Every structure is written in C-alpha cells, then in structure tokens.
Amino acid sequence: MKVGIVGLGLIGGSLALDLRSRGMVVLGVSRQKKTAQIALARGIVDGASDRLDLLSAVEVAFLCTPLRAIASTLKSLVPHLPPEAVVTDVGSVKAPIVEECTPLWRHFVGGHPMAGTAGQGIEAAQSHLFAKAPYVLTPTGATPAVAVEKIAAIAHSLGSTVYCCPPDVHDRAVAWISHLPLMVSAGLIAACSGEGDGEVLDLARKLASSGFRDTSRVGGGNPELGVMVARYNRPALLRSLQQYRQCLDRFIAAIEAEDWLALAGQLELTQQQRSQFLRAPSD
C-alpha cells in the first residue's frame, strides 16, 4: 500500500517509521524542504518533498500538521488526490477538524492516535510510539464504512487499540484526561516557580524527584500544542477547568476548617476512582 504523510514532525515521522517497517511505501510531505530531506536521509520515508503533488497516487493520506493547518492542508491536497483515496488526520481535537474536513473530502475519517512525547519535529520521531496506545476514530453518519475500516486496520497494525465515537464525545473525554491535566500540570510548575523565598525555591528544585517529574511532565511539553488544544477545544476545556477549580476549593475549605474527616473522605474516594481511569485495556 502507498501511504502519504503530510507534516513530518513527532507524530508524522513516527507514523512513517512504523508504516514503513510494516512494508508500506511511505511518501512524506513537509512544509520545509530541509525536513523532507532529513526524513529521506534517515530512512523515515521512501520519498519526500515540500510539494503536495508527491501524493498523487496514494491510497491513504495522514494529515499530521499542527491543528491550525489540517483543514487548509486538505484543501490544498484535494486537487492532487486519487478519487478513492482515504484521508485521515491525527489532530488532538476532533469536532472542529471533522466539521471543516468532511465537506472537503468524502472519504475523510477523523483520527487521534493518543501517544506522544515531550519532543517535537522530525528529530523526535521514534518507532513503536503507538503500540498499546488508544487510537480514536470519529466517523460521522456521512463517513463511508470502508474508509473507517481502512484506517482502523492500519491503526491495529501499529499495535494500537481502536475506539470509535462521535467527534464531540472525543473532545469532551480528552478535555478530562489530556487537556485538563496539561493545564493543571503547567499550573503546578508556574505555582512552584512563583515561590518568593529564594532559599526555599532553591531547595525545592534540588529535592524535586519522581513525584514532581510525574505531575509536571505534561505541563512541560510543547507550548504550541497546549495553545492549540485550548483554542480548538475551548468549551470542553473551560468546563473541565471550572469543575477542577471547584474540587480544589473543596480541598482548601476542608484544610482551612481542619476538617480532616472530610479531607480523608475525599482522598479515599479519589484513591478508588484513579484505578477506573487506568485500567488495563483488556479489563
């Protein structure tokens, strides 16, 4: 199968590596000529260019640009695509992308491979990024089943677990488990860094270890990605942030009132609830 990838960064480059290792012919297009050259020189793709007409004979095209460029990229790609080509994207927010892309290409399937690292760009591309990770597809009533099946089969071949849901349900769910944690984690780093006593701040930085590493990881990643998910998933993220603020207020109230029983009740509940989010996929 001949596959095209537009946007050779962390996700596009990692997809290219895995698809190529599974015997597919992978053609990559990126904005900068230099990126295309690096991808070719490192054997990440079979062919590369900064021009979309490279993809004139692909069976499947993955749009892996930043969110803001996905729909405009598809618009520019359409004149070059074979009529039966299936197009999918990897954007972290789905409803606005699916709304813009569906009228542009009949065989468009919204997608979101839920894997990443703190890295960005072609240098950060790595093999096996999507193994054991969820891969969400967000078809609408108008999406041809054959297109969904084709992308689902590719996602399975990457070792991902495939889920299908409506775009807005995806966006509300990822607001909770991905976009809210990003903001909470960034807020943690900002609050700690705001400590006014230099001696305390200095010692805190020296003592920070695995707990801080875990809780600050997603807040210390690519800033562009954080801004993009906030812009594109604004209502769902705001709703989650406001509910999170209410939870913080309950903790503050219990601690101010020295109501240790109330605090214990809340923490016992969260201890039980955590496992419901981190169950193994086979459970």
Which two tokens mark 208?
């920070």
| Smallest gap from residue 252 Cβ to ligand NAP (A) | 32
83 CB burial (10 A radius; 0-12, 13-18, 19+): exposed
Closer Cβ to ligand NAP, 35 or 88, answer by number: 35
Contact 70, 96 (CB under 8 A): no
Query: Taking the chain, what is the end-to-end CA distance rounded to the nearest angstrom?
Result: 34
How many whole angstroms separate alpha carbon 253 and alpha carbon 261?
Answer: 12
CA nearest to 247, candidates 261, 230, 267:
267
Q: What is the DSSP letter of 175?
A: I
| Smallest gap from residue 169 Cβ to ligand NAP (A) | 17
| Smallest gap from residue 257 Cβ to ligand NAP (A) | 40
Closer Cβ to ligand NAP, 224 or 268, answer by number: 224
Closer Cβ to ligand NAP, 31 or 106, answer by number: 31
Closer Cβ to ligand NAP, 93 or 152, answer by number: 93
How many whole angstroms separate alpha carbon 240 and alpha carbon 171?
Answer: 11
Closer Cβ to ligand NAP, 24 or 122, answer by number: 122
| Smallest gap from residue 258 Cβ to ligand NAP (A) | 41
| Smallest gap from residue 75 Cβ to ligand NAP (A) | 11
Q: Count how many Cα atoms sit within 13 Å of the Cα of residue 79 in the half-sphere of its side chain.
A: 5
Sheet holding 161-164, edge to edge: 111-113, 134-137, 161-164
Q: Which residues bind ligand NAP (CB under 6 A)?
A: 6-12, 30-32, 35, 64-67, 69, 73, 90-92, 112-113, 116, 120-122, 225
Q: What phi, psi does 153 have (nearest 5°)?
A: -65, -40
| Smallest gap from residue 200 Cβ to ligand NAP (A) | 33
Name the residue number minimizing CB distance to ligand NAP: 9
CA nearest to 105, candidates 129, 71, 150, 131:
71
| Smallest gap from residue 231 Cβ to ligand NAP (A) | 11
Closer Cβ to ligand NAP, 120 or 215, answer by number: 120
Closer Cβ to ligand NAP, 8 or 180, answer by number: 8
